[in-house]
Amino acid sequence: MKSGKKKDATPRPSVAIVGGGLAGLAAAEALSRSGMLVTLFESRRYLGGRAGSFRDENTGQLFDHCQHVAMGCCTNFLDFCEQTGVAKLFRCDRKLRFIDAKGKVYPFAPIESLPAPLHLAPAFWRQSYLTMSERIGIGTALRRMAKLTDQQAEHLLVGPWLREQKQSSGVISRFWEIILVSALGDSIEKTSLAAARKVMIDGFLAHHHSADVHVPSAPLGEIYEEGIARCLFDRGVRIEMESPVDEVFRKSVGGGFSVSVKDEETLQFDNVVLAIPGRRVKAVLAPRLFEKVPDLARVDQFNHAPITGVHLWYPEPITDLPHAVLLDRTSQWIFAHGETKSPHDGQTPAYYYQVVISASHNLPSGDHAAIIATVTKELAELWPAAATPLFARVITQRAAVFSAAPGLEDIRPPQATPITGLFLAGDWTKTGWPATMEGAIRSGRLAAEALCRRYGRNEQLVTPELSHSWLCRKLFY
């Protein structure tokens, strides 16, 4: 996609953004507001990276690889959607629904008239699948969690810490895991208490709208290609699809950067933002440059976790719930996507659902039939019509998220590097957030801020987080 703007007569700093995932798109959007001359290179045919879509061969329809949602605490992601004109393609739900093994639905919604964190207290007390003493124990653990220092929390594992707080195995599996595994994408036996605190305090308790759930009402691929890309195009950003960058190098110290694009000529830029997974940076950045960024040598210490999406198409609706959290099952979340066409023939009307299983290490690798059988059996226990789908598909992203392990914050690199004009972006960089869409957007904006500072411009491109309520500060800090 070529730029829709005419060239400015005044020379502007040029920027090559390598990678069209959320981090790269966020950097492009922020820099386009800052007057930079931006070119974005994406190696694949679609934007969005891991938070992307695929096009079904039979129907031609777009379907997301895995369901993604944002929460109200994701201030930068939500602002990015506003800036690019796609906020209208997300619906905001303030009510969650938990379904136990017997099929009973427990609504979880805030009370507007109460200050945070008390706005969630009535909803919490209605979760009667937990005993009264268990709920009191959870409240005590949350308060202790909030009072830990960052340094203390960063170097503790969630699972052992919860057991030290006398949290039973039932409470851990039915409360802590169901929230934290979905939010962090990995087992609580592998993730840091600091990451868990980010989810529980900032993501639920700190503000009236922290726990709002923003669900895309269109495939993410459509949102990127027809919404975000169009906005960037109108702002003068040049987007080069199917343009893998082979190498980024410098011909002279202090000069600009050469960007070698496969099957094309080498292009020159004043600045480069590498918005690609950390494990790919070494393959793209010239060895002499890579050696000058010591933080990059530690990227191979990152571990990753898989997320599995089970896509199901039925002849009739199986439930009227838009989404629900499933307790005591392999299946963790179910999302309803309405009427579409079944991929098995591209013609039969069908109702599309997606089941999400985070930290899916223990699912039978490659045995899609077994995974589908497990999921449909679990759903049929709640909704008998779910036993026999018209069509089913399993998609697992093996490195969907980085594991927020204890001590990881110590090795996440900042967006600015020791090399003038070279910047990093990606949820794996130092953002203060775990591997989320919010973290990716923040990284792109932080990279853009660092780039602007190179030219003496202290621009505020990162949206502040939601402020903690006065009562939250008094209770927890």
Q: What is the pLDDT of residues 298-350, one digit of tens each?
A: 999 999 999 999 999 999 999 999 999 999 999 999 999 999 999 999 899 99
Residue 172 and residue 291 in one domain: no
Residue 376 and residue 427 in one domain: no
Contacts of residue 62, Cβ cutoff 8 Å, sequence gap at least 6: 53, 54, 55, 56, 219, 221, 222
- State how far the Cα of 404 lies from the Cα of 432, in Å rounded to an integer: 11
The pLDDT, as a whole number, for residue 10 is 60
User: Does the residue 368 lie in any domain?
Assistant: yes
User: Does the residue 133 lie in any domain?
Assistant: yes
Give phi and psi for 468, each to the nearest 5.
-75, 140
Residue 158 and residue 26 in one domain: no
User: Does the residue 345 lie in any domain?
Assistant: yes
By CB neighbour count within 10 A (0-12 exposed, 13-18 middle, 19+ buried), where does 468 fall? buried
Residue 268 and residue 391 in one domain: no
Do residues 200 and 182 touch, judged by C-beta distance below 8 A? Answer: no
Model confidence pLDDT, tens digit, residues 239-275: 999 999 999 999 887 789 999 998 888 999 999 999 9
What's the mean pLDDT in 395-408?
96
Residue 284 and residue 373 in one domain: no
The pLDDT, as a whole number, for residue 107 is 97
Q: Among the three residues 379, 402, 425, which one is the final residue of a domain in this structure?
A: 402
Model confidence pLDDT, tens digit, residues 56-86: 888 888 999 999 999 999 999 999 999 999 9
Residue 293 and residue 417 in one domain: yes
CA neighbor of 224 nearest in space, from 23, 364, 419, 9: 23
49: left (phi over 0), alpha (psi -120 to 50) or beta: left
What's the mean pLDDT in 416-420?
98
Q: Tokens 């070494």 belong to which residue? A: 282
DSSP readout, 112-134?
A: TTSPTTGGGHHHHHT-TTS-HHH
Residue 160 and residue 219 in one domain: no
Q: How confident is the model at residue 3 (pLDDT cuts 50, 70, 90)?
A: low
User: Does the residue 60 lie in any domain?
Assistant: yes
What's the mean pLDDT in 25-50?
96
Residue 146 and residue 126 in one domain: yes
User: Does the residue 106 lie in any domain?
Assistant: no
Residue 227 and residue 81 in one domain: yes
Do residues 38 and 229 touch, judged by C-beta distance below 8 A? Answer: no
Model confidence pLDDT, tens digit, residues 271-306: 999 999 999 999 999 999 999 999 999 999 999 999
6, pLDDT greater than 70: no
2, pLDDT greater than 70: no
Q: Report how many domains make up the chain.
A: 3
Q: What is the domain extent for residue 250? A: 1-93+214-301+403-477
Q: Among the three residues 211, 242, 266, which one is the final residue of a domain in this structure?
A: 211
User: Does the residue 195 lie in any domain?
Assistant: yes
By CB neighbour count within 10 A (0-12 exposed, 13-18 middle, 19+ buried), where does 444 fall? buried
- Is 245 marked within a binding site? yes
Kindly report the CATH number assigned to the domain that includes residue 44.
3.50.50.60
End-to-end CA distance of the chain: 50
Q: Output the six-digit token pair for 433.
A: 């957030």
pLDDT above 90 as % of the chain:
91
Residue 442 and residue 472 in one domain: yes
Mean of pLDDT over the chain? 95
User: Does the residue 103 lie in any domain?
Assistant: no
8, pLDDT greater than 80: no
Residue 289 and residue 435 in one domain: yes
Q: Tokens 């990127």 belong to which residue? A: 224
Do residues 109 and 233 touch, judged by C-beta distance below 8 A? Answer: no
The three-class DSSP label of residue 271 is strand
By CB neighbour count within 10 A (0-12 exposed, 13-18 middle, 19+ buried), where does 403 fall? buried
Do residues 50 and 400 touch, judged by C-beta distance below 8 A? Answer: yes
User: Does the residue 102 lie in any domain?
Assistant: no
The three-class DSSP label of residue 95 is coil
Q: How confident is the model at residue 477 (pLDDT cuts 50, 70, 90)?
A: confident
The pLDDT, as a whole number, for residue 471 is 92
The pLDDT, as a whole number, for residue 5 is 52
Q: Among the three residues 402, 422, 448, which one is the final residue of a domain in this structure?
A: 402
pTM over 0.75: yes
CA neighbor of 352 nearest in space, from 379, 308, 384, 390: 390
407: left (phi over 0), alpha (psi -120 to 50) or beta: left
Residue 285 and residue 409 in one domain: yes
What's the mean pLDDT in 90-108?
97
Kindly report the CATH number assigned to the domain that includes residue 362.
3.90.660.10
Q: Which residue type sits at 325?
A: V
Contacts of residue 230, Cβ cutoff 8 Å, sequence gap at least 6: none
What's the mean pLDDT in 436-461?
98
What's the mean pLDDT in 163-179?
97
What's the mean pLDDT in 156-185?
97
Q: Tokens 């810490």 belong to which residue? A: 161
